[in-house]
Structure 1
Amino acid sequence: MVGRADDAVWRPYEDGGSLGWMGTQGGTIARDEDFGGLARLTYELDDSRSFHALSCSVTGWLLYHRFFDNAAAASAAFEEMKPALEALLTQLPEGGPSVPGNARLGGPILAAFTVRYG
């Protein structure tokens, strides 16, 4: 399993250097955190169109987006997603999906995650 580095904690991505920039979903990045180089969680917003998006990634495995129509729901989901991504890391096979058989093992784990947070 991917596990987690002993010193892995959620920290501002690139020391906060991405804040204020346009995100991949077209909003302004309001929060952007990294977990030991293994997972990343980004919150984008555009209040002019009631747009709030979370993008979460697990290096080599997952890039997933969630959308909300208000800041409170998006902020709550951001906090909820951090421990969920940490737990996901402990379930995925070591070496990533390019190792023979790992994609088959990781598929149901990733599917369950996206259904839970869909």
Structure 2
Amino acid sequence: MVGRADDAAWRPYEDGGSIGWMGTQGGTIARDEDFGGLARLTYELDDTRSFHAIACSVTGWLLYHRFFDNAAAATAAFEEMKPALEALLTQLPEGGPTSPANTRLAGPLLAAFTVRHG
């Protein structure tokens, strides 16, 4: 299982260097945080079109987007996904999908995460 380093914590991705850049969904990156190089949450927004998106990734396993029409809902989701991603990391096989067996193990875990945070 992907271990959690003792010093792992959510930190600004690239020391905040991505803030203000265009995100993958066409909004401006407002928050971008990384957890030990294993998980990442990116929040982008475009108030001209009431657009708020969160990109969630787990290295080797998941890239998932959520969309919102207001900042309050997006910010709440961003915060609630952090502990959920940390818990998911403790259950996933380390190194990504390296065998049919660990892919079968991870599939239901990833599906449950996306349903819960959908």
TM-score normalised by length of structure 2: 0.97
- Alpha carbon RMSD of aligned pairs, Å? 0.8
Matching residue of 1:50: 50
CA shift for structure 1 position 7:
1.0
Paired residues, what number?
118
> Per-residue CA shift, 1:72-96, capped at 9, x if unaligned?
0000111001111001101111231
Q: How does 1:99-118 map to 2 (within 5 A)?
A: 99-118=99-118
Instruction: Give ranges in structure 1 of 5+ residues lacking alignment.
Output: none
Code of the residue aligned with 2:117 in structure 1: it is: Y
Code of the residue aligned with 1:104 in structure 2: it is: R
Distance 1:103 1:69 in 2: 34
Q: Is contact 2:60–2:95 with CA below 8 Å preserved after alignment?
A: no
Instruction: Give ranges in structure 2 of 5+ residues lacking alignment.
Output: none
CA shift for structure 1 position 101:
1.4
Distance 1:55 1:82 in 2: 12
Distance 2:33 2:48 in 1: 24
After the TM superposition, which segments of 4 or more aligned residues of structure 1 sit over 6 Å from their partners?
none
Matching residue of 1:31: 31
State percent identity of aligned pairs.
89
Code of the residue aligned with 2:29 in structure 1: it is: I
Distance 2:16 2:36 in 1: 15
Distance 1:94 1:15 in 2: 26
Corresponding position: 1:6 with 2:6: yes
CA shift for structure 1 position 100:
4.0
Matching residue of 2:22: 22
Q: Is contact 2:54–2:78 with CA below 8 Å preserved after alignment?
A: yes
TM-score normalised by length of structure 1: 0.97
SS at structure 2 position matched to 1:103: helix
Distance 2:72 2:98 in 1: 38
